[in-house]
Amino acid sequence: MADSNDYNYIAYLLSDINSTSIKVAKYSSLSRTDLIENNEYGYACLIRAAKRVLDKIELENPTSTRITSKERIDTRLWDMVALREAIINAFVHNDFTGEVPPKFEIFPDRIEITSAGGLPEGLSQEEFFRGFSVPRNKELMRIFKDLGMVEQLGSGVPRILESYERECFSFSDHFLRMSFPVHKSITPHVTPHVTPHVTPQVEKLILTIGGEMTRQELQDVLGLSDRMYFLNNYLQPAIESGVIEMTIPDKPKSRNQRYRLTDMGEEMKTKL
């Protein structure tokens, strides 16, 4: 808080309501032409948004099992330790002064994480890869550290490099992008199906929804009057679990927005 008792921009980013949009997009093809999901995790505390992004990526990172004559080999599409470091770094080191948030994109063959700001002034690429740390947002870094989400020792990039090559990083004057390919032993088009674990509230929503319904229609059928309670405990977790999708994913706040079950949701509804 500044001397005038006005909240600074970091306090604004950590407030329960802000205008920072954090998106996780998913595509069915290797380019950005076929968008199938556009999940919104912003407009809330940056800590909460970061945790939701981590949960979503965890959900999109299933385990493939191969049984040999000697052993069972479990392999995930991406190394989750490296991904977690990259995701947190994208939040902590993003240049929010231009109001451009980090972006997370999932393709069949890779995950791309883009943060605004490029390298901090005075830090070379070689120093970056060697783990020298120049925090862009010192207050934000301290808060993430206090919550145990970062170490602030410059270990993030070296930890990523234990699983991925330097070529996964690309730099420009205004952005830094990390692109992590799927594990070589897994074919993207035959990614194993994983049934997500859902809460009792999400189960109720799955059983309630029929066809395409508005948020208000869903609330009315469930007998819920509190909009935020419904969003936080029913609708958003269902979307994050991949059992419910928006009919207009590229315009999440559209007045014509409807919600429907995905194929996974239909399958789960039959089992329920």
User: Which has more confidence, 5 or 139?
Assistant: 139
Residue 189 sits at the vertex; the CA angle it makes with 244 and 78, to the nearest 5 degrees, is: 80
Every domain range in the chain assigned CATH 1.10.10.10: 200-271
**3-state secondary structure (DSSP) of residue 141:** helix
Q: Say whether pLDDT at 95 is over 50.
A: yes
CA distance 196 to 163: 26
What does DSSP say about strands 110-116 and 175-181: parallel, antiparallel, or unpaired?
A: antiparallel
User: Which has more confidence, 198 or 254?
Assistant: 254
**3-state secondary structure (DSSP) of residue 164:** coil
Integer angstrom CA distances of residue 45 from 49, 97, 113, 149:
6, 17, 20, 15
* CATH class name, domain 9-190: alpha beta
In tens, the pLDDT along 113-129 reads: 999 998 888 889 999 99
Q: Model confidence at 217, in pLDDT bands (50, 70, 90)?
A: very high
Average pLDDT of the residues of the chain: 85
User: Please, are residues 79 and 163 in contact by the beta-carbon 8 Å criterion?
Assistant: yes
Q: Say whether pLDDT at 212 is over 60.
A: yes
In tens, the pLDDT along 259-268 reads: 999 888 888 8
State whether CATH 1.10.10.10 applies to domain 200-271.
Answer: yes
In tens, the pLDDT along 28-80 reads: 888 888 899 998 887 889 999 999 999 999 989 887 666 555 566 667 889 99
Q: Say whether pLDDT at 192 is over 70.
A: no
pTM: 0.63
In tens, the pLDDT along 233-243 reads: 999 999 988 89
User: Please, are residues 23 and 32 in contact by the beta-carbon 8 Å criterion?
Assistant: no
User: Please, are residues 87 and 80 in contact by the beta-carbon 8 Å criterion?
Assistant: no
- pLDDT for the residue numbered 69: 53
What does DSSP say about strands 103-107 and 23-27: parallel, antiparallel, or unpaired?
A: parallel
Retrieve residue 146's tokens: 């206090």
- pLDDT for the residue numbered 193: 47
Retrieve residue 17's tokens: 């309501």
- At CB < 8 A and 24+ separation, what contacts does 231-239 make? 233/199, 233/201, 234/201, 234/202, 234/204, 234/205, 235/205, 235/259, 237/198, 237/199, 237/201, 237/202, 238/198, 238/202, 238/205, 238/206, 238/265, 239/39
- pLDDT for the residue numbered 121: 81
Q: How large a percentage of the chain has pLDDT more than 90?
A: 47
Q: Say whether pLDDT at 250 is over 50.
A: yes
Every domain range in the chain assigned CATH 3.30.565.60: 9-190
Q: Say whether pLDDT at 146 is over 50.
A: yes
Neighbouring-strand partners of residue 75: 64
What does DSSP say about strands 169-171 and 110-116: parallel, antiparallel, or unpaired?
A: unpaired
